[in-house]
Amino acid sequence: MFQLLNTILIGITSGAIYSLMAIALVLVWRSTRVVNFAQAGQALLSTYIGFEVIQRFDSYWIALIVAIVAGAAVGALIDVLFMRFLFSRNTQGPIAGVAPIIATLGLLGLIRGGIGIFLGNTEASIRPPVSNVGFTISGHTLAFSPLKFLIVGAVIFLMLALSLIFQRTNIGLALRASAYAPEIARLAGVRVDGIRTLGWALAGAAGAAAGMLQTPNGDGGLSPDSLDFSLLLVFGFIAAVIGGLESLIGAVVGGLLLGLVLAFVLTYVSGSLVFIIAFMVLILVLLLRPSGLIGAKRGRRA
């Protein structure tokens, strides 16, 4: 009974972090139609920045805020320095759609390599800001601690805040219009280039939050070729696709679903099956609902 409850709680927490990464991927996809594989590198870089801040000021909370701001700045810089250039060179044909996506793969390598060169020798780790010792109920320890509470709360808060921005504000309308129909948006007076950069910045911020929350939830260690961040990218990507790639709520639903399934596999079947099952969930969802769980039900017209 407690094992079942703990499995669910573990699933929710790890699912929440996948959700955050999925949100970051969805944000870039929605505002620029690019699948951003560099997101893992951006998150890693932001988390390293957070780590440096902790070294100086000994405060996780300041570090979290700095890392999120830095994540936004890194995202914006990538758009201004690389993506804008790529988009202006290739405007038509199949290459125009694929080149930016391949470029993000290159960026991922570049960022990881850069971190390796400059910070590779640093022993980096982030300790949990609040206790990661599980709550106890009648002698049993739950797999849910103040830290995990913080993680789930932060993800819910960010999802709600971003959804509000997208659905209820003028900036959000400009973001959506630029994603769906850049030409019409420009004719309507939207400065599409700036709006795209904003999309990258928001995504960078969400990715940074994911990195800063994930690291202390694991063993706390941080390294340039961190497997955790690779998994974060893969699982975040699967979660985003399960959720339909278009919707923030879809990203969260996809992340939680994936987190729960993997937690059950881990507890009741075998840890070595986690990867296979993750992709099986992806294939199953795409077979049954090709546009994702929350994806648009109709194909695009016009």
Residues in touch with another protein (CB under 8 A): 170, 173-174, 176-177, 180-181, 183-192, 296, 298, 300-302
At closest approach, how far in Å is the CB of 22 from another protein? 20
At closest approach, how far in Å is the CB of 269 from another protein? 40
At closest approach, how far in Å is the CB of 234 from another protein? 28
Nearer CB in complex with another protein: 70/190: 190
Q: What angle do CA 158, 162, 168 make, to 5 degrees?
A: 140
CA distances to 34, 80, 94, 164 from 88, in Å = 14, 11, 15, 31
Which of 44, 42, 40, 49 lies closest to 67 in space, CA to CA?
49
Phi-psi category of residue 131: left, alpha or beta, with phi > 0 → left and psi -120 to 50 → alpha: beta
Nearer CB in complex with another protein: 192/261: 192
Nearer CB in complex with another protein: 139/189: 189
Nearer CB in complex with another protein: 65/177: 177
Amino acid at the residue 296: A
Nearer CB in complex with another protein: 267/291: 291
Integer Cα distance of 159 and 166 in angstroms: 10
At closest approach, how far in Å is the CB of 255 from another protein? 23
CA distances to 42, 54, 120, 233, 282 from 50, in Å = 12, 6, 16, 19, 32
Whether 120 and 135 have beta carbons less than 8 Å apart is answered as no
At closest approach, how far in Å is the CB of 39 from another protein? 24
Nearer CB in complex with another protein: 185/256: 185
At closest approach, how far in Å is the CB of 168 from another protein? 11
Integer Cα distance of 300 and 289 in angstroms: 16
Q: What stretch of H or E contains 86?
A: helix 84-89
